[in-house]
Amino acid sequence: MSSRSETETPAPPAHHASVSRSGLAFAIAAYGLWGFLPVYFIALEPAGPIEIVGWRVLLSLVFCVLLITVTRAWRPFMALVRDRRVLFTMGLAGVLIFVNWSTYVYATLTNQVVEAALGYFINPIVTVFLGVLVLRERLNATQWVAVGISIVAVVVLAVGYGQLPWIALVLAFSFGFYGLIKKRVGPKVDAVSGLTLETAWLAPLAVAQLVFVAMTSGLTMGTVSPWHTVLLLMAGVVTAIPLLLFAAASRRLPLIFMGFIQYFAPFIQFLVGVFVLQEPMPPERWIGFALVWLALLVLTFDLVRGARSARRAPVEPI
């Protein structure tokens, strides 16, 4: 999946009524597209995960370079490149998103979409947990309950699988750490510039991947069918468009709205895995998912309560 953590400062409440509809449309479009990514990756078969991720990195970079050129944004972009802190931070972010993309494509092509969806369901809880471990943030009792329920859910799923749900955990933690890194960079790095820097760092690795595939099983680009080639060439657009929609939504909607809508993507993925791909859902898996959804309800309740308390708080005189 792509970079949902690249949020910018939400619009002031005074403008909320006039822009909320467009913001809501952008957010639903972004998360809807992310939700249907498994269908897109499955359509790319017989291309394997290594080739798909390689093309995704390179074509995303090409698309972003074209977008920066069209919007004449090279000057602010080069200012970011000259900032060594930003440059190397985005390199680390690139490594994490590479792990995330590779794991997600592998899960999709090996009929493990449901477990991939689980990863994005537990991602908000992992983010809270990382806030405690890395940022030394303090959780209230409700948040600890949500974390505790999610840990029980992972244990239940592990017992049911006979092993840890490693795909879900890798996706959740890689994206969780990715979000922390983007938070440190702050709003100075916009969505397009961020993806450009990340994919630029990954470009040599992507080239090496494609060379490896060409020397072993052979590249599928241009060898299967015209339709397959077109779909593969769209990898950059498919990666960047939801990201841009998300960035537009985050400027128009309060963060609490974005928090609710973020569950659209894993929910759609879950439906695709269960009803389209007909992946097995034994009782222990349903119990594990039910526990995760309960933890998300608890976390959402705490989020809404906090937002209401903030609105009721008296404004301090300047």
More confident residue, 50 or 126: 50
Tell me what percent of the residues of the chain surpass a pLDDT of 90: 55
What is the model's pLDDT at position 256?
62
The predicted model scores a pTM of: 0.85
User: Of 78-92, 117-131, 191-205, 215-229, where does mean pLDDT reach its minimum?
Assistant: 117-131
Please, are residues 220 and 232 in contact by the beta-carbon 8 Å criterion? yes
The HSE-up count of residue 244 (CA atoms within 13 Å, CB side) is 14
10 band by pLDDT with thresholds 50, 70 and 90: very low
Summarize pLDDT for 166-211 with one digit per residue, the tens: 999 999 999 889 888 877 787 788 888 999 999 999 999 999 999 9
- Written as six digits, the tokens of 281 are 């859902």
What is the model's pLDDT at position 255?
61
Summarize pLDDT for 279-299 with one digit per residue, the tens: 999 998 999 999 999 988 988
What is the model's pLDDT at position 313?
55
Q: Rounded mean pLDDT of the chain?
A: 86
pLDDT at 6 over 50: no
Distance CA 295, CA 124 (A): 10
Summarize pLDDT for 145-155 with one digit per residue, the tens: 988 898 899 88
- Written as six digits, the tokens of 133 are 């471990």
- Residues 6+ positions from 109 with CB-CB distance below 8 Å: 41, 42, 45, 48, 49, 52
Summarize pLDDT for 155-167 with one digit per residue, the tens: 898 888 788 899 9
Over 152-181, what HEC string results?
A: HHHHHHHHHHCCCCHHHHHHHHHHHHHHHH
